[in-house]
Amino acid sequence: MRPLSLLLVLCGMLLPLRSPAHTASRELSEAALAFLATLPADQARRATYGVKDAERENWHFVPKERNGLALKEMTPEQREKALALLRAGLSDRGHLQVEAIMALERVLFELEGSARRDAGLYTVTVFGTPSPDGIWGWRFEGHHLSVNFTLVGSTHVSTTPSFFGSNPAEVRSGPKKGQRALGALEDLGRDLLNELDSSQRAVAVISDQAPKDILTSNQARVVLEAPQGVPFSRMTPAQQTRLKALVRAYVQRHRDDVAQVDLQKIAAAGWDRVYFCWAGGLEKGAPHYYRVQGPTFVIEYDNVQNGANHVHAVWRDPEADFGRDLLKEHYARDHGAANRP
């Protein structure tokens, strides 16, 4: 190796490494600050809360009045910056799903004529002061969407609770006929179910009736019961591949660098401790529900309402929702027990 080449290699080894979380923290804080810079004082007051404010855990996925700043109240420049923040947190797959979900508000408006069916009602809220090294978070939320990011320093990012829904699950008339905003979530779950043999299915199917909605609902804090269904450890390699693909469909709707860390966390806790269960009808078109649960996460998918044409799907981490585990560790280490959230 030439001396100059060797010198360049050695210099590169001495440069500080940039972790995936560091890159995410920098890019998201830049996008959030760019959005906030467009807001006059009155809008800024409505769009921002303290990182410890109770509003941080005041989340939902139904059409309702929300705190924060709605897209319809923004100027074109403000909307552009708000959507750029959202885009910075998502993968290409996740961004396409969000666009499809929001577009369904127009479909519902044409069906119902209700003013609450309005894609302009999605809101943006920032918690704390965005900084590459700070503690802050943000939320993009409206009907059938709740995207939540919490960032602690330059090394940790939390993305749960993460809720995506779709009504209708499949558009059955009009220009968008046949569109399925979250079709992959049903197909991957159903493919896994169909891959199970009769003895495995007998364990996986926990009820012939699907619950009316996801069981965790919009609870701020989730306490999980023991997992049900068939464990990863009792699946064939092909079935295990399908289960991993199903989990990735939820985790990888967020930006790739952050999603990879979340997948590593699942692997570290043990894939053999992950379970899959199903409730409801086995045939396509029947009301159905599935749950994937491991030591660090739970996924719920429910399609029961509106004649089994209305999807609610959520990915949660009971310890890390809203960055609780990260904040607890930070305040315990740097500020003492008295300041823990």
pLDDT band of 335, cuts 50, 70, 90: low
Would residue 2 count as lying in a domain? no
Residue with tokens 């997992």: 227
Question: Whole-angstrom Cα distance, residue 299 to residue 319?
Answer: 14
Q: Do 114 and 93 fall within a single domain?
A: yes
- Three-state secondary structure string covering the chain: CCHHHHHHHHHHHHCCCCCHHHHHHHHHHHHHHHHHCCCCHHHHHHHEECCCCHHHHCCCCCCCCCCCEEHHHCCHHHHHHHHHHHHHHECHHHHHHHHHHHHHHHHHHHHHCCCCCCHHHCEEEEECCCCCCCEEEEEEEECCEEEEEEEECCCEEECCCEEEEECCCCCCCCCCCCCCCCHHHHHHHHHHHHHCCHHHHHHHEEECCCCCCCCCCCCCCCCCCCCCCEEHHHCCHHHHHHHHHHHHHHHCCECHHHHHHHHHHHHHHCHHHCEEEEEECCCCCCCEEEEEEECCEEEEEEECHHHHCCEEEEEECCCCHHHHHHHHHHHHHHCCHHHCC
Q: Do 224 and 335 fall within a single domain?
A: no
Would residue 298 count as lying in a domain? yes
Residue 332 has what pLDDT?
A: 65
262-277: average pLDDT: 98
User: Residue 227 belongs to what domain range?
Assistant: 183-319
Q: Is the pLDDT of residue 209 over 80?
A: yes
pLDDT digits (tens, 9 = 90+) for 302-317: 999 999 999 999 999 9
Closest CA to 217 of 278, 300, 153: 300
Q: Looking at the 3D structure of the chain, how many domains does it have?
A: 2
68-93: average pLDDT: 98
Q: Do 189 and 148 fall within a single domain?
A: no
Q: Do 139 and 250 fall within a single domain?
A: no
Q: Do 156 and 87 fall within a single domain?
A: yes
Q: Do 16 and 128 fall within a single domain?
A: yes
Share of the chain above pLDDT 90, in %: 81
pLDDT digits (tens, 9 = 90+) for 15-55: 343 455 678 999 999 999 999 999 999 999 999 999 999 99
Q: Which two tokens stand for residue 321?
A: 């929702």
Average pLDDT, the chain: 91
Radius of gyration of the chain (CA): 21
Would residue 279 count as lying in a domain? yes
Q: Is the pLDDT of residue 340 over 80?
A: no
Q: Do 95 and 195 fall within a single domain?
A: no
Would residue 106 count as lying in a domain? yes
Centre a 10 Å sphere on the Cβ of residue 76 and count the other Cβ atoms it contains. Answer: 7
Residue 328 has what pLDDT?
A: 74
pTM of the model: 0.90
Residue 11 has what pLDDT?
A: 42
pLDDT digits (tens, 9 = 90+) for 94-152: 999 999 999 999 988 887 878 788 999 999 999 999 999 999 999 999 999 999 999 99
pLDDT band of 341, cuts 50, 70, 90: low
Would residue 165 count as lying in a domain? no
Question: Whole-angstrom Cα distance, residue 287 to residue 302?
Answer: 8
Q: Do 75 and 194 fall within a single domain?
A: no
pLDDT digits (tens, 9 = 90+) for 145-175: 999 999 998 788 999 999 999 999 999 988 8
Question: Whole-angstrom Cα distance, residue 42 to residue 55?
Answer: 18
Would residue 3 count as lying in a domain? no
Q: Do 116 and 224 fall within a single domain?
A: no
Residue 164 has what pLDDT?
A: 98
Q: Do 95 and 218 fall within a single domain?
A: no
Q: Do 153 and 202 fall within a single domain?
A: no
194-201: average pLDDT: 98
